[in-house]
Structures are given as structure tokens and as C-alpha cells.
Structure 1
């Protein structure tokens, strides 16, 4: 249920409401707006008697049942956009952040070179996989701990925050030690033990949509993370599996505005995986931004033809530079702010 506080309520009244929520076994979530304070009481469906109990508390204006199965992700609980802040800028609420880098961390030289040029062209975050979930057990699986150390070195040199994928609950603590944000890939989007584990850490989580997930299922996966106390979740549309075989996946551009009508969480687009070929990445990226995405996560490699994974879809440096120039012009037209590192 959602408890709407009266305008001009006291802190003592708010604290009493929170205590009463906890007393009946619910979890409180306070959202402070400019004029209104909302308190979500997250738990089983409330009885009419319980709702009346909360209506009678001092400082309470109204008590409303939450209709959505995803509670903490819902705009009902927080009617204004979540804005996440990184050292290089913000995402959400009109701020756009672009993460870029190689699909996999293959070597120190390759990763540092990519980090330098993505920063130079305006990316606000470095992406790179240290642990790689591959369809084939014989394909490149990533460098593991060595890859994490290389990413950390790239962060020290460039100042770019780092996002990298975590594959299992037992890896969360290790990856969180090196990364600024944790990525949950499409194959793990309904790995509930992993979602709960990343919900326990105080690091932003990029949650990619599973290739066969509905949007409600996607939001319920986000709810697993939110329900453990980590409210720093970014939803990433990365393409779904359809009957079309020309592209690797089908980018569901409509998911961006639809999700933003359901949730306060930032919504990003991954144009690389649905494209499957680098010549289609830029148009898909721009389509995602035009649809309202709060960020992009893009694959780029100093020598894509030599990449050990996703070689066909990783952008050359000049192509990434082209994407960034077009994105800047588009975002200006949309009256949005591109978060970018300070060069120096």
C-alpha cells in the first residue's frame, strides 16, 4: 500500500508511520517529492482494517493500495525519476550517460587503449567483461580476476567508472571490490539467487532484459534487487528473440517509453547485441535515445576483427566517434544533457 503524508507533516509523524509499517511486518520505502512525501509499505496485500489503521495515524492524508505486482519499481511508490550519479555524471531525469568499451577484457593493452579513446570521445563509463557467459564452453570465457585488475587500472588512469558482468552469487563480493557498477546479463535476468545477492551490495546494477522476457517479468526481476535494499538499478533493453533472423536479436525500441510509463528507474539501450553487425549499431543506438533512453551501453574494440568475442558487432574507434557526435546533436534537440568526463 501507499501512504500519502499531509503537506506540512512533521518528521515525528513520518517516523511514527515508518515504525508502524515495520511493526506489522512490512518494509517501508520513503519517497520525498517537492510537495508530497509518499511512504510505500511493501509486503502482502493489506486488509481493509490495516489500511484504516494507517489512515488514522497523525500526518497521514490518504492510504492507497498499490496495484502493480512490482512495488518498489513502480511509479505509484515513486512518481518521479530516479537519478543515479557517477563520478563522470548522471543518468535519469533528463541526464544521459554512455558506457562503452570492449565486449571482453582480452589484454591490458587492448583495454587501456579502448578506455582512453572512449573517454576522449565523451563516454562516461567503461564497460568490459572479465567473466564471459558464452553459448559454447570452448569459447573465450574472460580473464577473470586478471581482467578485473585491468579494469581497475583503466579506471585509475582515465577516471572512468567501470561496469562489468557478474555471473554467480559467489562472485558478487569479488566483482564489487573492483567495479563501480555490476551488470546482470540477459542469461541471468531471472537468476533469482544472483539478483538477491547484488541487491545486498551498495553498487549500481545494470540489469539486462532476458531475451524472452515480458516487460512485467523484467520489472519483477528488478524488484528482487530493490527488495533487498539496493535501489540503484538501471534497466537495459538489449533485444529480444523473435522470428527475425537478419539481426542477432530484435531491439524492442517501444520498451523504452513503455517502461518509463511504468517505472521510475533509468532505462538504457544496448544497441550492439540486437544489431549483431557493427553497421547497424549506430542507427539502433540513436533510435533508443530518440525513444527516451537514459543511457547506452555500446561495444567498441581497438581492432574488432581480432576480438575474441562479438567481433562482428564491436565498433571501430572512428565509428564510435561518429556515434558520439550524432548522439550529442540528437540529445541537444531533445533538451537532454549528455554526461561526459572532464578531459584534461
Structure 2
């Protein structure tokens, strides 16, 4: 249910309604609007009719049912797009497109620093890099783990770029959160619900990737796990889905961008690297993603893709990334965005 507060209702009135919601056995999630606040009362659907009694409270204007199964992610509770900081001075969801770039995996200090300096010079605002790598084969490179996190933190000190990196195991959430600015959930973990709940308890933004066989509703329900634990800073990432097509690594579902924009207030970014699997296809997908209405891009860049321990064929060189960013500015302007 959505509890719509009357215009001008103060903090004391808000606290009183929140207290009553909790007494009725529901969680209260406050969404601050421009002219009034609304409260999402989340809990057991079977007894939600009892929440209608809140309409008798003096500062409550209306109690409205949320029809979508994902409550806090829905535009029913927050009609306007969410805009929030991922790190000090770095926001997502507004007019400015956010580009996150870097290597698939952290391999060493020189590799990471060279790439970080290059992506910053080209205009990227966040450095991406994997310290923990979930791989299909147990014999493939699994990442440098905490040593990789330390290298990412060192690169942040040198370049000033905030870092986004993946959390693979629930037991590593606190460890990764000590180093990272943004916590990433990979496609394989999109329905790892214990992990999602733990991330919802962190005071760090979460970049949630869509699973390779996940429907949009399932994707948003996964976001709901994070939101329901109190973490409102969730970014959705479309990274391609599995189809019968073999020409690309995955099939980039660009239609997911306008669909998500219609159904949720959360920001949406595109990963053109994992979706295509080929560096030559990445630029076109970057431009198309901006035209589709995305809020940002997650691009793999490696200083020497031929020697990369992970996903070299889909990684842009620093020179190619710089050229993409230059052209991307024109596409952004055409879409009434900036870069």
C-alpha cells in the first residue's frame, strides 16, 4: 500500500504514521516527493486491507494499493525518476550520462593504473574492475580477490575515480564494501536472495545486472529484495540475455530500457561489452543504448586486450574507448543528455 501524506505534513506526523504502520506488522519506507511525502507499507499481502484504517489519521490524504508485485521499485510509489549519488560528486539518473569503464578483471598494478588514467582522460566517471570473478570453468582465472580490491583502492587514490566491483559471495559483502564505492551483482547472482538482502543492508549503491534468462519482472523483483531492506540506491544493468543467436555472446535487449523506464523509477545502464562479446560491436551498442534512453554505460577497457586474463575479445583499447566517448557526446546531445 502507498500512504500519501497531506501537503505540509511535518516530521512528527510522518513519524506517527510510520509508527502505526509498524504496529500493524508492516515495514515503512518513506519516499520524499517535491510537494509531499509518501510511505510504502510493505509486508504480507493477505492482510493489507487493515492498512486502509490509516486514512482516518489526520495527516494522511489517501491509502492506495500498489498493483505491481514489485512495490518499492514501481513508478506507482515514485512517479519521477530517481536521481542519486554513487559517490561524492558522481550522480546517476539525471540529464548527464554516466560512463563506467575499466578492465574485466584486475590483473596487476600497472595494468589497472594505465587503464584507469586512460578512461578518466576520455571522460569516464567511475572505474570498473573485477577482484572476484565468477567463471563458468573452475579452472579459469578467478580474480585477485582482496589484493585486487587493494589495487582498485590504490587506483582510486591516484586518479580520483570511484570504483565499482562485483560481490560474488555473501560472506564477502563486508570485505568488498570496505573498498568499493559501488557494489555490483553479476548476472549469475541476480537471484541469490541472501546476497541481495545483505546488500540491502549496506550503505553503498548497488549495480544489479540482469540474469541471462531473467524476465524483466523477475529482474525488478530482485531489485525489490535490496530496496525492501532499506537500500534505495539501486541501478539496473541490462547486459544481454541468452537466445538462440550465436553471432554475439548474448543478445542485448535494448527494448528493456524503455520498458524499465516505464515501469520503474530506478536508473538503467547498459553493458555493451558482455552483451555482444566483440569489441567491434561495442561502439554501435553504446550509441543505440543512449538513443533508447539509458542513464549510463558499463564498458570494458583494457590497456592490452590481447594479453587479458578475462574477456579480452570484448574489451576496447584506450584509444578506441576515447574515440567512442568523443562520438558518444554527439549522440548524447541528440538525446537531450550531456556527457
TM-score range (shorter-chain normalised) is over 0.9
In the alignment, which residue of structure 1 is the partner of 2:126?
125
Query: C-alpha distance in 2, partners of 1:334/1:16?
Result: 44
Query: C-alpha distance in 2, partners of 1:45/1:180?
Result: 35
Query: C-alpha distance in 2, partners of 1:88/1:5?
Result: 31
Query: C-alpha distance in 1, partners of 2:204/2:167?
Result: 12
Moved more, 210-219 or 91-100: 91-100
In the alignment, which residue of structure 1 is the partner of 2:229?
228
Please report the TM-score for the alignment, with normalisation by the length of structure 1.
0.95
Pick closer, same or farther for the CA change 1:46–1:35 going to 2, 3 Å.
farther
User: Any residues of structure 2 matched to 1:185-200 within 5 Å, and which?
Assistant: 185-200=186-201
Cα distance, 1:58 vs structure 2 = 0.6
Structure 1 gap segments, 5+ residues each: 339-344
Cα distance, 1:46 vs structure 2 = 6.3
In the alignment, which residue of structure 2 is the partner of 1:26?
26
In the alignment, which residue of structure 2 is the partner of 1:250?
251
Query: C-alpha distance in 1, partners of 2:156/2:11?
Result: 41
Pick closer, same or farther for the CA change 1:71–1:52 going to 2, 3 Å.
closer
Judge conservation of contact 1:88–1:161 (CA < 8 Å) in 2: no
Structure 2 gap segments, 5+ residues each: none
1:46-76 CA distance string (max 9 Å, x none) = 6575243111111111111111111111111
What is the number of residues matched between the two proteins? Answer: 338
Query: C-alpha distance in 2, partners of 1:256/1:49?
Result: 34
Query: C-alpha distance in 2, partners of 1:176/1:220?
Result: 23
- Corresponding residue SS for 2:45: coil
Judge conservation of contact 1:184–1:208 (CA < 8 Å) in 2: yes
Cα distance, 1:2 vs structure 2 = 0.6
Judge conservation of contact 2:29–2:230 (CA < 8 Å) in 1: no
The Cα RMSD (Å) is: 1.3
In the alignment, which residue of structure 2 is the partner of 1:134?
135
Moved more, 41-50 or 177-186: 41-50
In the alignment, which residue of structure 1 is the partner of 2:296?
295
Query: C-alpha distance in 2, partners of 1:60/1:198?
Result: 32
- Corresponding residue SS for 1:99: strand
Please report the TM-score for the alignment, with normalisation by the length of structure 2.
0.97
Query: C-alpha distance in 2, partners of 1:228/1:119?
Result: 34
Confirm whether residue 216 of structure 1 aligns to residue 217 of structure 2. yes
In the alignment, which residue of structure 2 is the partner of 1:144?
145
